[in-house]
Structure 1
Amino acid sequence: MSLEPIGIFTLAVGLYCLFSGYQTSVIVFVTLSVLGAAAAILIGSSNIQPAHLFLAFLAITTLSFRKQSAVAFNALRFPQAGFWLACLLVYGAVTGFFAPRLLARMTDIIPLGASEYPSTGGAVPLGPVSSNFTQAIYLTADLLTFLLIIAIGSTKAGFRAITIGIISFTFANAAFAVLDLLTYGTGAQDLFLFIRNAQYTFHDDDMVAGVKRIVGSWPEASAFAGMSLAPVGFMGTMWLCGRDSKWTGPLFILSVILLIRSTSSTGLFALPLCFLLLYVTAVLRSGGRSGTWGSSSVVLFAPPLIVLVALVISLDETLYRQIYNYVDLLLLSKSTSSSAAERGSWNLHGFQNFLDSFGLGVGLGTARTSSFVFALLSNVGVPGTVFFLLFAFSAFRKLHGPPRSYVSDVQLSARNGSLCLLVGALVAGPTVDLGLLFFVLAGLASAQPETEELHSPSPRVISAS
């Protein structure tokens, strides 16, 4: 085991936050979750990321208050969302231990853990892997994160702090992306080594058509693009609702530009679906006397603007050919590439694992896939999939606070951010673990803060008259 420099920094910030309270702690925690390529502590081939290490400090600062502790434990009661997530964790952990042993060699898997199996370039017989344990730890951290965010979000100050934390995450994610391009262009990539020290396979120097792929603080471009979908959904909705517009509007635009520039097929495929979700939100948010300037503008001008852009592209043969070649390279031809064929075989193996395990799954963390749906079915089967669906329904079905208040607008933004993340995971999610940020957003969407309106700039509204 080794404590890395980024781990020493995390411990130092954690000790400071013990004296600063849970509001400061949650802002730091959400921001640290951007360091997806960093390892605070290395244990053999396993990594403890900075946010996971800092989670212990967040738990101490939050659960030391009796009121927040009661809220967190209450979120575990039936039929709350936390209860269903806990059921998924327990079922996944149990199957992760027993299924690879009881069903050993009954099917072939694409192993997620690599410590027991050398690189084979393909499937191996079903058996225990190291990630049975690590994925259970990650899902435990997800559950704890969800409960802590609900507890913190039960207060006005905490609810606001979580929102600031997500804005801070978005800013850091964009900043690391810009620095990634700058350091590559100047030959100073070594400056990023302190946050690229995890035991992962890195693709930070990959090129597409002579263009450097953006990875930012993540191991590869697809991971950067997948996580950037959350800021697109959250910041875009906040801007449409007229909340913190001086930050959310520019960060939304910057996140979209960087996501497109990342050249990730995952992000480019998911982005139109996220835009559709934002447009539906704008339509619903623009009605009545409290419709905001942003949502009304999008509803009015987005369709003719799309038509105008399409006409300009179609009339300019050179521009059309350049855009078509770019889309063909990253999306249309991607389905025939060796990478797509490999990922497709992962999903086929995952579905076969689901069938061969009689619908019960081969165990949490056992099999790698290339879609969250197949990850659920292959690893935790029908029971685990049902538990996740019940969790998602319970977490996102209701917005708290008066309609079009700050609370309901932020929770709508959190729900849209979660859905955008989920869209990316459906395209290329390899595991059941959706990451800490997803459960931060889900917890924020589920929180029930005090009923008084939180302090926030009032949205610019369009009068119906």
Structure 2
Amino acid sequence: MGVEPIGIVTLLVGVFCLLRGSGPTVIAFSIFPVLGGAAALLLGSTGIQPGHLFLGLLLLSTLMLHGNPSSTVDRALRSQPFAWLVLLVLYGVLAGYFAPRLLQDTMTIVPLGPQAGAGINGTIPLGPVSGNFTQAVYLFADLVTFTLILAVASTPKGFRHVAIGLMGFGAANVFFGIADLISPGTPIEGLFAYIRNASYTFHADELVAGMRRIIGSWPEASAFAGASMAVIGYCGTLWICGRHNKVSGYLFIASCILIVRSTSSGGIAGLPVCLAILYATSLFRCGGPTGTRASLAVVLAFPIAALLFIFVLVLSRDVYQLVYNFIDVIILSKPTSLSALERGSWNASGISNFFDSYGLGVGLGTVRTSSFAVALLSNVGVPGTLFFLLFLLTGILMPRGTPRTYEADVGLAARNGCLCLIVGALISGSTVDLGLVFFIMAGLRSAVPRGVRGPAAEPA
């Protein structure tokens, strides 16, 4: 086992936060998942990310130093989404162990992770793979994260700390994106080596349409764009609702620009969907004595801005050609690229595995896909997909709290952040694991504290 420099930093920050109290600990934990390309600890060829390492410190803080284990367990057991998530994890772990063995050699799969003996097209006969264990660990970490955040955010102070921590995640993601943009030829470029030390293939120097792709602190542009879409959903909603509007507004605008500049096909294709979610939120949030300035501005200005943009495209052939060429390179011609053909073959193989396993799935972490929906069906089948949808319905989609209060607006922001992250995962997600930040937002959304004191919404 080896401890990397970023692991030492994580532990030092964790010890400092533990000494300061539960608030700094949960804020720091909400930020550390941004280091998605880093390995804090190396166990052979497997790396433990800083976010997962810090999860142990949050567990220590919540259950022993600054919390009560019985209240944490009680809040979890009384939560409907917790029950569905537990069933998803249990089914995933059991399917990951038994399905590859019971169905061994009955079909071919595209394995998740490096696998010796893969064929020319990347397929191997079905059997146990390393992903069965690693994905079970990740999904169990997601369950622990959701449980701890649900417990912490069920108190007024904890709720506000988690809300601020997620804004910190957005700020860190924007910071690393801008740093990556200006890093070539500067000392910053060498510093990125400390947070790009995991055993992933990093796509840091790829060029698309003559522009260098932005990956920030993530392994590739699509992962950076996916995290940025979560920031857009969360911070954009806070800005619309007039909560922390100065910071959240800047983070929302910066994340939109960075997604376009990242040249990620999934990010650019998913951005309009995220903006549509925010526009629908604005329609319900504007008007009345508690309507906000930003929501009213979005409702009125967005259609006008869209029409002006269309007029500019129609009247200026040069602008039209510039926009068309960019979209053509990023999206329209993407289906014919080697990368898209490869990812399409992954999805086709995953769908075939779903039907060949009679809808039960071939096991959590067994196959690689290029869409979260296909990953669910092929890995955990109909039962696991049903458990996830019920978790999504009871934990994220169902309304909570008194409308237009601080806790309701922040919960709405967490919901939109989850939905925007799912949008990105549906386009390019390769596994069932949606990441720690998704379950932090889900835990915040599922918590219903009373009397949270936050900044007043800016009236219309």
Partner of 1:398: 398
- Counterpart-to-counterpart distance in 1, 2:358 and 2:395: 29
- Counterpart-to-counterpart distance in 2, 1:66 and 1:399: 30
The yes-or-no answer on 1:56 pairing with 2:56 is yes
Cα distance per residue 1:383-430 (max 9 Å; x no partner): 100110111111023343321000000000000000000000011110
The yes-or-no answer on 1:23 pairing with 2:23 is yes
Partner of 1:289: 289
Cα distance per residue 1:67-115 (max 9 Å; x no partner): 6534432344376111111111111111111111110111111100325
Cα distance per residue 1:309-339 (max 9 Å; x no partner): 1101211101100000000100111111111
Quick one: which amino acid aligns to residue 49 of structure 2?
Q
Quick one: which amino acid aligns to residue 172 of structure 1?
A
The yes-or-no answer on 1:155 pairing with 2:165 is no
Partner of 1:433: 433
The yes-or-no answer on 1:458 pairing with 2:446 is no
The yes-or-no answer on 1:196 pairing with 2:234 is no
Q: Following TM superposition, by how much is the alpha carbon of 1:173 offset from its aligned partner in structure 2, in angstroms?
A: 0.5
Aligned pairs (5 A) from 1:13-162: 13-64=13-64, 68-77=68-77, 80-117=80-117, 120-162=120-162
Secondary structure, in 3 states, of the residue corresponding to 2:333? helix
Partner of 1:388: 388
Aligned pairs (5 A) from 1:283-322: 283-322=283-322
Cα distance per residue 1:182-235 (max 9 Å; x no partner): 112437522211100000011011111221100000001011001110000001
Q: Following TM superposition, by how much is the alpha carbon of 1:135 offset from its aligned partner in structure 2, in angstroms?
A: 0.3
Secondary structure, in 3 states, of the residue corresponding to 1:165? helix
Q: Following TM superposition, by how much is the alpha carbon of 1:161 offset from its aligned partner in structure 2, in angstroms?
A: 0.6
User: Does structure 1 conserve the Cα–Cα contact (< 8 Å) formed by 2:396 and 2:445?
Assistant: yes
Quick one: which amino acid aligns to residue 197 of structure 1?
N
The yes-or-no answer on 1:233 pairing with 2:233 is yes
Worse-superposed segment, 61-70 or 23-32: 61-70
Q: Following TM superposition, by how much is the alpha carbon of 1:16 offset from its aligned partner in structure 2, in angstroms?
A: 1.8
- Counterpart-to-counterpart distance in 2, 1:119 and 1:213: 31
Partner of 2:242: 242
- Counterpart-to-counterpart distance in 2, 1:404 and 1:95: 42
Worse-superposed segment, 7-16 or 25-34: 7-16
Quick one: which amino acid aligns to residue 138 of structure 2?
Y
The yes-or-no answer on 1:445 pairing with 2:440 is no
Worse-superposed segment, 356-365 or 184-193: 184-193
Partner of 1:167: 167
Partner of 2:272: 272
Partner of 2:370: 370
CA change 1:315–1:368 in 2 (3 A) is same
The yes-or-no answer on 1:417 pairing with 2:414 is no
User: Does structure 2 conserve the Cα–Cα contact (< 8 Å) formed by 1:110 and 1:123?
Assistant: yes
Runs of 5+ in structure 1 lacking a partner?
none
Quick one: which amino acid aligns to residue 258 of structure 1?
L
Quick one: which amino acid aligns to residue 356 of structure 2?
D
Cα distance per residue 1:268-313 (max 9 Å; x no partner): 0100000100000000101322110000111111101110111012
- Counterpart-to-counterpart distance in 1, 2:23 and 2:119: 45
- Counterpart-to-counterpart distance in 2, 1:385 and 1:401: 28
Quick one: which amino acid aligns to residue 241 of structure 1?
C
User: Does structure 2 conserve the Cα–Cα contact (< 8 Å) formed by 1:75 and 1:82?
Assistant: no
Quick one: which amino acid aligns to residue 97 of structure 2?
F
- Counterpart-to-counterpart distance in 2, 1:350 and 1:72: 38
- Counterpart-to-counterpart distance in 1, 2:398 and 2:123: 43
- Counterpart-to-counterpart distance in 1, 2:454 and 2:65: 26
Quick one: which amino acid aligns to residue 459 of structure 1?
A
User: Does structure 1 conserve the Cα–Cα contact (< 8 Å) formed by 2:22 and 2:66?
Assistant: no
Quick one: which amino acid aligns to residue 460 of structure 1?
E
- Counterpart-to-counterpart distance in 2, 1:61 and 1:141: 16
Quick one: which amino acid aligns to residue 286 of structure 1?
C
User: Does structure 1 conserve the Cα–Cα contact (< 8 Å) formed by 2:118 and 2:124?
Assistant: no
Quick one: which amino acid aligns to residue 322 of structure 2?
Q
TM-score of the superposed pair, with normalisation by structure 2: 0.97
- Number of aligned pairs? 460
Q: CA RMSD in A?
A: 1.5
- Counterpart-to-counterpart distance in 2, 1:103 and 1:196: 37
Cα distance per residue 1:349-381 (max 9 Å; x no partner): 001111111111100000000000100000000
CA change 1:315–1:394 in 2 (3 A) is same
User: Does structure 2 conserve the Cα–Cα contact (< 8 Å) formed by 1:38 and 1:194?
Assistant: yes
- Counterpart-to-counterpart distance in 2, 1:420 and 1:68: 33
- Counterpart-to-counterpart distance in 2, 1:199 and 1:48: 10
CA change 1:117–1:17 in 2 (3 A) is farther
Identity %: 53
Q: Following TM superposition, by how much is the alpha carbon of 1:457 offset from its aligned partner in structure 2, in angstroms?
A: 2.1
Secondary structure, in 3 states, of the residue corresponding to 1:129? coil
Quick one: which amino acid aligns to residue 431 of structure 2?
T
Worse-superposed segment, 163-172 or 74-83: 74-83
User: Does structure 1 conserve the Cα–Cα contact (< 8 Å) formed by 2:179 and 2:188?
Assistant: no
Secondary structure, in 3 states, of the residue corresponding to 1:33? helix
Quick one: which amino acid aligns to residue 432 of structure 1?
V
Q: Following TM superposition, by how much is the alpha carbon of 1:117 offset from its aligned partner in structure 2, in angstroms?
A: 4.4
CA change 1:103–1:350 in 2 (3 A) is same
CA change 1:338–1:220 in 2 (3 A) is same
TM-score of the superposed pair, with normalisation by structure 1: 0.96
- Counterpart-to-counterpart distance in 2, 1:338 and 1:118: 19
User: Does structure 1 conserve the Cα–Cα contact (< 8 Å) formed by 2:242 and 2:458?
Assistant: yes
Quick one: which amino acid aligns to residue 447 of structure 1?
A
